Amino acid sequence: KAGVTQTPRYLIKTRGQQVTLSCSPISGHRSVSWYQQTPGQGLQFLFEYFSETQRNKGNFPGRFSGRQFSNSRSEMNVSTLELGDSALYLCASSDGAGTGGGKRFGPGTRLLVL
């Protein structure tokens, strides 16, 4: 099976702009989670989607949002970008919700906010 794919891989934006990141999970996986990774905070959970429904949300401001489509592909959006949003954004997929088992990560989108 092909792995998790994320686009774009790299992105440079300026403060105040918005950005949309895309994730395609492993075929057959219906759960998609998003994480932010920074050197200072490590890996932090953003949200999880299962069958187009947001099931969990982390402690991030409302500028961070996401959605999932009927084909399980997911997008996350960050509005009004801040310098602190510079990070590696990782998408992970698994075949079930709530189990947490076997989450596989994509290659990530590296976002730089200037």
Partner 1 sequence: QKEVEQNSGPLSVPEGAIASLNCTYSDRGSQSFFWYRQYSGKSPELIMFIYSNGDKEDGRFTAQLNKASQYVSLLIRDSQPSDSATYLCAVNSRYGSSNTGKLIFGQGTTLQVKP
> Minimal distance in Å, beta carbon 68 to partner 1?
12
> Minimal distance in Å, beta carbon 114 to partner 1?
20
> Minimal distance in Å, beta carbon 57 to partner 1?
9
Running DSSP on this structure, what letter comes out for residue 95? Answer: S
Binding residues (CB under 8 A) for partner 1: these are: 31, 33, 35, 42-45, 48, 50, 55-56, 58, 88, 90, 92, 94, 97-108
Letter for the amino acid at 25? P
Cα–Cα dist 66/46, whole Å:
9
Running DSSP on this structure, what letter comes out for residue 26? Answer: P
Taking the least distance from each CB to partner 1, the nearer of 72 and 94 is: 94
